[in-house]
Structure 1
Amino acid sequence: MASEGEGDKNKLKLYSYWRSSCSFRVRIALNLKGLTYDYEAVNLLKGENSRPEFLELNPLGFVPVLVDGHVVLADSFAIIMYLDDKYPRQPLLPPDIHKRAINFLAATIVSSMIQPLQNLGLLNYIGEKVGPDEKLPWAQSVIRRGFTALEKLLIDHTGRYATGDEVFLADIFLAPQLYSAFKRFNIHTNEFPILSRLFETYNEIPAFREALPENQRDAVH
């Protein structure tokens, strides 16, 4: 582990749920930065995110939440940018402004145009109002639309990773979404060759593997 910010590292606490892709992103960022943290499991299926003590941290009732001393942040994008500013080692954005913009765009496609439309709350709502058999087709349609856009966006920018030969913000957002799509929502890897190759590459990175849902202490196997 990195020694940077040793005093501050002891204050970091991450409220997380093992299957939450938003929490997965933050776990990757923490690992890439070499930061230790206390893992506080919040079971979404049991409604622990609706308990008053958790709503004090995040009134929206979502994970992840990062607590760093007196700082409380409740959004994966905000948390990751905060970590990148506070712990500049292993920067999560490239210096080139065009590549930075591509990273922001890829991350936004995932965080705004895919994940919110296939999250647990919305799928449960669709199951109740439309029918349980409609949950998977809906999620797949959302993912395919977003992945099609990502394939077109990244075709001229990929190297070993999404925007070159270093891991940056786009990779942190892509990895959990790809995992969810391929492992949970039955999207076939051969539909998206660029994203499929990236997915295999991410599995080779220790910081990514350690953040995998099944490697969290609250994981249900």
Structure 2
Amino acid sequence: MKLYGYYRSSTSYRLRCALELKGLDYENVPVNLLKTEQKSEAFTARNAFGSVPMLETDHGDKAQSMAIIEWLDEAYPEKPLLPSDPEQRYLARELAYAIATELHAPLNLPVLKFLKEQYGKSQDEIDDWYRHWLARTLDPLEQRLAQVGAGDFLFDAPGFFEVVLMPQMYNARRFAFDFSDKPHMTRIEAACLALPEFQRAHPDAQPDNPEQKDS
């Protein structure tokens, strides 16, 4: 498989986490979002959404990260990301989709560029926008984690939820979001970052990270 993505893209990051946790081999193919390579004619001919990630598989090119992750669990059932119990599966989806559906749209790069270029917003104003929407979802998410008694992970091992949470926390920290009142999230983050699968998936370890090239 080939994963077309961008090192700092949260959706690319979540798919790297999923592939690593499932132990699936893949080749990382960088797509530079800052140069809009994802909008090229060659790329959109394969992925009409003109977005990353795109996963090249023996069954064709796959787009949309959440759909890809669930497809991976169905096509490669070993090391499942979703638990077998239907109530646990629901809980994992509830929390993961809260992040994926509520935060990705208002916080992705095209929206932030639109705020700056079309409405003349300053970087400080854009950062405030970013943190505002983060709080609207991450505050109740922390409450849900407390309600269900989450430990180092939502369940016994990292899976579907952690794959989606980790990239969002990474991007939130880039915008100086305050996690001091979110002990459940920060505990899960620390437990994940201690694992080699998440270390390999981290933006700092990707070949298209400029700092990685300079190191």
Q: CA–CA distance in 2 between the matches of 1:147 and 1:79? A: 24
Q: 1:16-39, CA deviations, whole angstroms, 9 ceiling, x for partnerless residues?
A: 100001000110111111111111
Q: Distance in 2 between matches of 1:51 and 1:132?
A: 29
Counterpart check, 1:136 vs 2:135: no
Q: Percent identity?
A: 35
Between the aligned partners of 1:132 and 1:69, the Cα distance in structure 2 is 45
Residue in 2 aligned with 1:18?
7
Secondary structure at the aligned position of 1:19 is classed as coil
| C-alpha deviation, 1:215, in angstroms | 0.5
Q: What corresponds to 2:183 in structure 1? A: 193
Q: 1:68 to 1:136 in 2, by over 3 A?
A: same
1:39 aligns with 2:28: yes
Contact 2:2 2:28 in 1 (8 A): yes
Q: 2:114 is matched with which residue: 106, 109, 125?
A: 125
Tell me the CA shift for residue 156 of structure 1: 2.8
1:160·1:198 contact (CA, 8 Å) conserved in 2? yes
Q: Distance in 1 between matches of 2:181 and 2:143?
A: 13
Matched, 1:160 2:159: no
Partner of 1:3 in structure 2? none
Q: Is the 8 A contact 1:179 1:199 kept in 2?
A: no
Deviation of 1:130 after TM superposition, in Å, equals 4.1
Give every structure 1 segment of 4 or more consecutive aligned residues whose post-TM-superposition deviation is greater than 3 Å. none
| Preserved contact between residue 214 and residue 220 of structure 1 (Cα < 8 Å) | no
- Map 1:38-187 to 2 at 5 A: 38-128=27-117, 129-133=119-123, 134-157=125-148, 158-161=150-153, 163-182=154-173, 184-187=174-177
Contact 1:13/1:39 (8 A) holds in 2: yes
Question: Given the alignment, which residue of 182, 189, 214 partners 2:204?
Answer: 214
- In structure 1, the residue corresponding to 2:45 is in which secondary structure? helix
Secondary structure of the residue that 1:144 maps to in structure 2?
helix
List alignment gaps of at least 5 residues for structure 1.
1-11
Q: In 1, Cα distance between the equivalents of 2:210 and 2:131?
A: 23
> Contact conserved, 1:55 with 1:61, CA < 8 A, in 2?
yes
Aligned match of 1:6: none
Instruction: Please state whether the residue corresponding to 1:66 is helix, strand or coil.
Output: strand
TM norm structure 1: 0.90
Deviations 1:110-152 (A, max 9, x none): 1110122111110111112141232100000011111012112
Post-superposition Cα deviations, 1:26-63, rounded to whole Å, max 9, x if no partner, equal: 10111111111111110000111111011012112110
**TM-score, structure 2 as length reference:** 0.93
Which residue type is aligned with residue 179 of structure 1? Y
